[in-house]
Amino acid sequence: MRKIIGAILTLAVLASCKQTKEPVDEVAKEEIIEKLPELHYGFNFEEFNVVRDTVRNGDSFGELMLKNKVDYPKIAAISENYRDTFDVRKIMVGKPYLILKSKDTSEVAEVFIYQNDRINYTVVDLRDTAVAYKNKKKVTLREREVGGIINSNLSETMDNLGVDYGVTIGLSEIYAWTIDFFRLEKGDKFKVIFDERYINDTVYAGRGPIKAALFEHKGRTVYAFPYVADTVNNILDYFDQDANNLRSTFLRAPIKFGYRLSSRYNLKRRIAYYGYKVRPHKGTDYAAPIGTPIVATADGTVTESTRRGGNGKYVKIKHNSIYSTQYLHMKAQKVKRGEFVRQGDVIGWVGMTGNTGGPHVCYRFWKNGRQVDPLKEKLPTAEPIADSLRMDYMAHIAPLKEQLDCIEFMDPTPAEPEETLISYTQ
């Protein structure tokens, strides 16, 4: 009976995927439209002599303006009055900029445009009273659907499908606690819906957040849908088709990449330097280069961010009434006491402060006020969606699930060249 019902549902989904809108006859209308000047960054470039360049070593805003005949009082006004908008001390080498000069013989700089990144820019208008303001280029979002069959690894499959590497990273983070991406099998499948950003409808500017995903690994299918279940802190998480959170409460390590487990939790550790006396090590050491980001292994509130004795600079986080974590020997902390941090947020950087023989972070884990070995703990999964939100969640994911089910799996593996038979005629 279940097989019959499943077949009916599958046919229903396929039928819905094949529905197409009837073509609508469009009546061509001839309109006479006055052609408006094309604007760039809000300016008609035909009114200026335009200079495009990049910030070079030794360049400063003041020197660039003086070279382009801007009066010193205007330079000082921007430097002093618009520091929050445009801090002239922080222009970076390699950043592009434009100078719009007057078209008369003086060629005085009238507008300076500094490109903060591909989307955001800062305008310094030097005409009349000098002012500065931030703006951003028009960004268009285009939704994209991708389905693939893995024959080697996820990254290569995505690349063959022409998908931004950021989508690969996004999927690996969403499914980090559900699927081992180092042990994917040939034939595993995925589908993903996401936005692509385009500047002025033409220039690609990266991918947007993942709207929905599906991963089929070893015959098990796991959906992923974003949803704000924690309305107090406005935290977005990804949940599966049964409203279970795909995130574990704790990450296994406080460093994401490029680390080495150099010393484990060991209550019977003996050290030659101390005459082989038992000196318990209640932390887990992760060796990494100085400056490597240290991340919070779970959501929580910072209870300590200070420096003390052999611990050096450290951060301690209380996650709930049961669990707390501590991160020692930092080069510097990024968070302060009382701050709420999310799992994966950078809270400091690897250093060598306190008693340490090399750069590493000593990760300490408390359960009910007692230090334990995090690598041996059966860590809890994150809370599922509350019963009060379950109906709303199911209604939210229904159209997304149907959209995912309609995406076809593509095998992007390049086809082997066919053997060509050549016949010779005498």
Residue ranges making up the domain that contains 164? 139-247+381-416
Q: pTM above 0.75?
A: no
The stretch 230-243 carries a mean pLDDT of 86
Residue 281 has what DSSP assignment?
B
Count of domains forming the chain: 3
Do 192 and 240 share a domain, yes or no?
yes
Does residue 1 sit within a domain? Answer: no
Of 7-21, 81-95, 174-188, 345-359, give the lowest mean pLDDT range: 7-21
Do 193 and 49 share a domain, yes or no?
no
What CATH number is associated with residue 352? 2.70.70.10
pLDDT at res. 328: 94
Give the pLDDT confidence of 21-70 residue by residue, as tens digits. Answer: 455 455 555 555 566 677 889 899 999 999 999 999 999 999 999 999 99
Do 92 and 160 share a domain, yes or no?
no
What CATH number is associated with residue 196? 3.10.450.350
The C-alpha angle 180, 244, 390, rounded to 5 degrees, equals 160
pLDDT at res. 425: 41
Decide which of 136, 152, 182 is a domain's last residue.
136
Query: Residue 258 corresponds to which amino acid?
Result: G
Among residues 316, 294, 320, the alpha carbon closest in space to that of 305 is found at 316
The stretch 229-245 carries a mean pLDDT of 86
Does residue 426 sit within a domain? Answer: no
Give the pLDDT confidence of 196-215 residue by residue, as tens digits. Answer: 999 878 888 889 899 999 99
Does residue 38 sit within a domain? Answer: no
Q: Is the pLDDT of residue 420 over 70?
A: no
Among residues 136, 158, 140, the alpha carbon closest in space to that of 148 is found at 158
pLDDT at res. 13: 54
Decide which of 120, 136, 152 is a domain's last residue.
136
Does residue 161 sit within a domain? Answer: yes
Does residue 255 sit within a domain? Answer: no
Do 393 and 360 share a domain, yes or no?
no
Do 55 and 129 share a domain, yes or no?
yes
Q: Across the chain, how many H-helices and E-strands are there? A: 6, 22
Decide which of 136, 155, 183 is a domain's last residue.
136
Do 281 and 361 share a domain, yes or no?
yes
Rounded Cα gap, residues 75 and 63, in angstroms: 10
Query: Please, which pLDDT band fits residue 378 given cuts at 50, 70 and 90?
Result: confident
Plot region of 125 (φ>0 → left; ψ -120 to 50 → alpha; else → beta): beta
Do 132 and 145 share a domain, yes or no?
no
Give the pLDDT confidence of 118-132 residue by residue, as tens digits. Answer: 889 999 999 988 999
Does residue 15 sit within a domain? Answer: no
Does residue 112 sit within a domain? Answer: yes
Cα-Cα end-to-end distance for the chain: 67
Does residue 210 sit within a domain? Answer: yes
